[in-house]
Amino acid sequence: MAEDYKELIKGMMGKKRYIHSCNVAEMCVKLAEIHGGDKEKAYIAGILHDIRKEADDEALMRELQLSGYYIDPVELASKKTWHGIAAAYYVKEALGISDTDILNAIRFHTVGRAEMSQLEKIVYLGDLVSAERTYPHVEKYRQYAFESLDHGMYRALKWLIPDFIENGRKIPVSTLEAYNCYLEAAGKRK
């Protein structure tokens, strides 16, 4: 069943996004193996996380409105975050997946949140460090994710939030709450 999703997304996105989605699914499985998570759920959430990334704005807005999720005004104002919310709605309604953990992992893969489940952290980090990623220091962030999901989240957010600030972008409340949560977790590691 999970492999069927690979074929489904192939027809819903361009080649680059398809390769990214496959790489994210593989990284999610690897992270689940390392951290004792559910590999099947990790694969499903990873392969489907960007299923609505290439949908048009009108369809995304309709799915946001129907989703029932709370949407931070900052998220609503940033089209870059819409696809996570719309994807969770689509996966539930069109694919019949009702597993809350999978849906939340997809919904929060762009913004994060405090007290994420293991699967949510796996998908967030799997998206950040998938095989095709080539940004500076990606290997360092992969290593953080392999060592500890909480520490990986802290390091990722510590790196990403200044980028929001540098580029004059607003930060969703859930992202700030995630940073505060994982800063505290990182402090307990010391």
pLDDT digits (tens, 9 = 90+) for 160-171: 999 999 999 999
Cα separation, 27 vs 185, in Å, equals 23
- Quick one: tokens of 39? 């590999």
Cα separation, 112 vs 51, in Å, equals 18
What global pTM score does this model have?
0.96
Cα separation, 145 vs 130, in Å, equals 11
Domain count of the fold of the chain: 1
Q: Are 122 and 31 in contact (CB under 8 A)?
A: yes
Helix axes 57-67, 79-93, angle to 10 degrees: 60
Is 34 in a helix, a strand, or coil?
Answer: helix
Supply the range of the domain harboring residue 120: 2-189
pLDDT digits (tens, 9 = 90+) for 35-57: 999 999 999 999 999 999 999 99
| Domain at 58, CATH number | 1.10.3210.10
Phi first, then psi, for residue 134 (nearest 5°) are: -130, 15
